[in-house]
Structure 1
């Protein structure tokens, strides 16, 4: 028995190449852009002994202050075990600490330390030349335009994911 699969007489192939009209084209281009950006960010963080997963947690802690682990997992797209490993790594390095949450004996909030904030700031300095290289092919004003478009795409007005 075969499933009812819609057929097109001129099927567009998903390629992530310029001009691709496939319904998958945008997703594939975003994936390729993500991989390229992640490679650059990884290169910037490596000399500091950080991985992207660690930096993602530091970003959340800088932006939101002390945060419980389940919220860090949600914000970073991690699972419970994964976020525990990342927080353990950050604690071992003195970049974050777990503190009791008043009124909830089981919950622990993760807080960035002064050393963590220093490393966070150092990562931005290290990333600056690499970020410039990432957008070197774009024309004047286009990096800002790309950032604006991606921001609106990632954070739609209606709050949809």
Structure 2
């Protein structure tokens, strides 16, 4: 089965170059920005023995406290199997533990350990100078503006996608 391609040619091409008017350009720019930020933050986490996927779960646990795995799936954009592997890794490293949820025999809440909190804090110390590198080309106030814009983009009012 082949997809029908409209006969009208589009003069705008999807690139990640500034000024591209393609409807795909924003997504490509966001992907490039994510790749750059992830590369820098991975550099900060590597000496601590964890990856970004692990740290994403630790962020949720610090923010929310003990969290059931299905909620970790939603909060991190992972899938059930992926969260299971991440939590397994965190448990093996002593950074998190699974605990029974009162009233629900099947559910397990994941909780950060004191060692996990120490690593969480150490990661922030290690990441600070690298994060400064990420925003080095921005003018005063632009980092805050970028954060505000991305927050509103990622979490639109009314929960719309």
Same fold at TM > 0.5: yes
Describe the shift of the 1:10–1:81 C-alpha distance in structure 2 as closer, same or farther (beyond 3 A).
closer
Structure 2 gap segments, 5+ residues each:
none
1-structure distance, mates of 2:42, 2:2: 45
The residue that corresponds to 1:121 in the other structure is 121
1-structure distance, mates of 2:36, 2:2: 39
Q: 1:122-150: CA deviations, max 9, x gaps?
A: 10110000000001011111111111111
1-structure distance, mates of 2:95, 2:102: 22
SS of alignment partner, residue 18 of structure 2: coil
Structure 1 gap segments, 5+ residues each:
none
1-structure distance, mates of 2:141, 2:106: 49
| 1:145 and 2:142 correspond | no
The residue that corresponds to 1:19 in the other structure is 19
Q: 1:69-127: CA deviations, max 9, x gaps?
A: 11111211112111111111111111101100000111110000111011001101100
How large is the RMSD of aligned CA atoms in angstroms? 1.4
How many residue pairs end up in the alignment?
161
Normalising to structure 1: TM-score of the pair? 0.95
